[in-house]
Chain A
Amino acid sequence: MEQYPLLFAFSDKVAGKGYLAVVTVHGTALAAKEDEGWWVYGVKPGGLAESGVTLPEAYIEFRKSLLRVLFDLAAEAPDFYAFRKAATEFFSEVNEPTRGEWEAARALVRQGKLDLEGIRHETAESPRRIDIKELQTLALTPEDNRLEDEELGVAA
């Protein structure tokens, strides 16, 4: 089975009860080519996995699923601080067996024995984290509109 160590990062907005939050995730995932197609398994956060016919499709489903978890947490949280706590806890749960496979795949990348065509190498030393900020909506202006950076790389 082909397995690839991924690093990903994205930002998105999450609306809660009386607040709007910007959530930036710098996470880790393992991509695996299996009989039924591609799977992307979360390492940190570890509580999700999604599939697709191609790796880009699987990653897009993974990304959507992660965002939907954040939406679910926002729906349950009574306020921003409870949402931030719940989202941080969700992100912090590492899937240890999947992390072991991720480490093994990263070792192969570092030895030059494994690569994913078309996806750049990223250093795995960049910290994995989730940042959650509350937007002060009354202070927003159209100048705050921007395309959010999104990153996907092979850990090297």
Chain B
Amino acid sequence: MLDACAPGWTKTETEHHYCVKWKGRTYPSLSKGKHGKKAGAGEVQVGQVRQLVRQFGIINCAKKHLGVLQ
């Protein structure tokens, strides 16, 4: 989805999160899910994806690629 809606996006791994950046906007708190240290964490939850696409201003495009955001 990000390849289509936020071309050129970058992701770096910090100790606690993935930090996603695009066009000067930053989402620094994407969950690492099962790869992280938080016990019992599943994969990235839809609420975080929802907040990320809002932060980047790509809601309409993201909805076309992720039905869960409808």
Report which A residues bind B (CB closer than 8 A). 34, 36, 39, 41-42, 46-51, 65-66, 68-69, 71-73, 75-76, 89-90, 93, 95-98
Name A100's closest neighbour in chain B (CB-CB). B54
Contact B55 A71 (CB under 8 A): no
Query: Across the interface, which residues of A come within 8 angstroms of B47, CB to CB?
Result: 34, 36, 39, 41, 49-51
Other-chain residue from A36, A39, A76, A96 in contact with B14 (beta carbon distance below 8 A): A76
Q: Is B10 an interface residue (CB 8 A)?
A: no
Q: Given A48-B29, A69-B28, does the pair A75, B15 have CB atoms closer than 8 Å? A: yes
- B: number of interface residues (CB 8 Å): 20
Count how many pairs of residues, one from A and one from B, have CB atoms less than 8 Å apart in the complex: 68
Q: Is B64 an interface residue (CB 8 A)?
A: no
Q: Is B63 an interface residue (CB 8 A)?
A: no
CB distance from B9 to the nearest CB of A (A): 14
Query: Beyond A68-B17, A89-B26: 12 further Cβ-contacts under 8 Å?
Result: A34-B47, A41-B51, A46-B54, A48-B28, A49-B29, A49-B48, A50-B47, A68-B15, A72-B14, A90-B26, A90-B28, A96-B57
Query: Across the interface, which residues of B come within 8 angstroms of A69, CB to CB?
Result: 16-17, 28-29
Report which B residues bind A (CB closer than 8 A). 14-17, 19, 25-29, 45-48, 50-51, 54-55, 57, 59
Contact A42 B16 (CB under 8 A): no
Provide the bound-state CA to CA distance between A76 and B14, in Å.
9
Q: Give 6 A-B contacts (CB < 8 Å), ordered by A residue.
A: A34-B47, A48-B28, A72-B28, A93-B26, A96-B57, A98-B54
CB distance from B20 to the nearest CB of A (A): 9
Contact B25 A49 (CB under 8 A): no
Considering the complex of A and B, which 8 residue pairs feature the smallest CB-CB distances, nearest first?
Answer: A49-B51, A72-B14, A48-B29, A68-B16, A97-B54, A39-B47, A47-B27, A69-B28
CB distance from B50 to the nearest CB of A (A): 7
Query: Across the interface, which residues of A come within 8 angstroms of B26, CB to CB?
Result: 47, 89-90, 93
Contact A75 B14 (CB under 8 A): yes
Query: Across the interface, which residues of B come within 8 angstroms of A36, CB to CB?
Result: 45-47
